[in-house]
């Protein structure tokens, strides 16, 4: 697994699929912008075509400098092979409430990634599962039991290259300051945070581990 910071200064791809056509001022061209969006979340939407029908599946992910990793059951039809997939990650940061309904909007950060995924095996598969686990719950890979041979055999993990990606960010106040309708306008921010852990009754004799507690807001 490679460190995202090692290539954070490289530009994003500029293909026809990722070119910013509308609202170009919201587009971001640096790779670090992609990593910022990916670091901020852990659920993506995986878009695939199965039996000529589009399917969009929410799933957790992990990533490094070169790939985004998704996993699931070997029986999952969404973990397609050999065909291009589209992965999106979106964070809503607030509602933009304007003077006119037409100018209402959303402050957001989003990334769209296209690529042909590769099925991982062996050491690559295990390393990708560690990457995914540590992205979702840092410290958990070394705390919990790791997957055994049977569990690994029942799991598919795909590596989607980060070579073709598009990032957009919208932030700031409404764009209709000159609207004659004189009413309140502004932003209604939205924030999410982890809440105190709820211990499984069967694990009540164990304290909550420090790496879990560090996720709580201070």
* DSSP letter assigned to residue 37: H
**88 φψ region: left (φ > 0), alpha (ψ -120 to 50), beta (else):** beta
Residue 206 within any structural domain of the chain: no
Residue 136 within any structural domain of the chain: yes
Percentage above 90 pLDDT, the chain = 72
Instruction: Give the number of other CB atoms < 10 A from CB of residue 123.
Output: 8
Residue 92 or 82, more confident: 92
| Domain coverage including residue 24 | 4-190
Question: What is the structure's pLDDT at 77?
Answer: 77
Residue 54 within any structural domain of the chain: yes
- pLDDT tens readout for residues 94-132: 999 999 999 999 999 999 999 999 999 999 999 999 999
SS3 133: helix
Residue 213 within any structural domain of the chain: no
Q: Using CB atoms within 10 Å of the CB of residue 126, give its burial: 0 to 12 exposed, 13 to 18 middle, 19+ buried.
A: middle
Residue 98 within any structural domain of the chain: yes
| pLDDT at residue 47 tops 60 | yes
pTM of the model: 0.88
- pLDDT tens readout for residues 167-210: 999 988 998 888 899 999 999 999 999 999 999 999 999 999 99
Residue 90 within any structural domain of the chain: yes
Print burial letters for 85-108: b (CB count within 10 Å at least 16), e (below 16). bbbebbbebbebbbbeeeeebebb
Closest CA to 41 of 123, 119, 136, 113: 136
CATH classification of the domain holding 54: 2.30.110.10
Domain count, the chain: 1
Q: Cα–Cα distances in Å, from 60 out to 12, 35, 105, 149, 200?
A: 23, 16, 27, 22, 22
């Amino acid at each position: 697994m490679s460190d995202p910071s090692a290539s954070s200064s490289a530009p994003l791809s500029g293909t026809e699929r990722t070119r910013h056509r509308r609202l170009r001022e919201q587009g971001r061209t640096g790779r670090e912008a992609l990593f910022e969006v990916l670091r901020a979340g852990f659920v993506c939407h995986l878009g695939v075509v199965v039996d000529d029908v589009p399917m969009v599946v929410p799933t957790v992910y992990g990533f490094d400098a070169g790939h985004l990793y998704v996993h699931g059951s070997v029986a999952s039809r969404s973990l397609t092979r050999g065909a291009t997939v589209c992965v999106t990650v979106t964070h809503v940061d607030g509602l933009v409430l304007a003077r006119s309904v037409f100018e209402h909007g959303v402050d957001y950060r989003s990334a769209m990634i296209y690529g042909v995924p590769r099925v991982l095996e062996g050491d690559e598969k295990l390393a990708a599962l560690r990457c995914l686990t540590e992205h979702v719950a840092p410290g958990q890979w070394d705390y919990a039991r790791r997957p055994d041979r049977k569990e690994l055999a029942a799991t598919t993990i795909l590596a989607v290259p980060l070579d073709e990606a598009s990032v957009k960010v919208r932030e700031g106040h409404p764009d209709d300051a000159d609207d004659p309708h004189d009413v309140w306008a502004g932003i209604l921010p939205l924030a999410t945070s982890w809440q105190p852990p709820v211990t499984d009754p069967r694990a009540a004799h164990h304290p909550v581990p420090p790496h879990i507690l560090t996720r709580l807001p201070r």
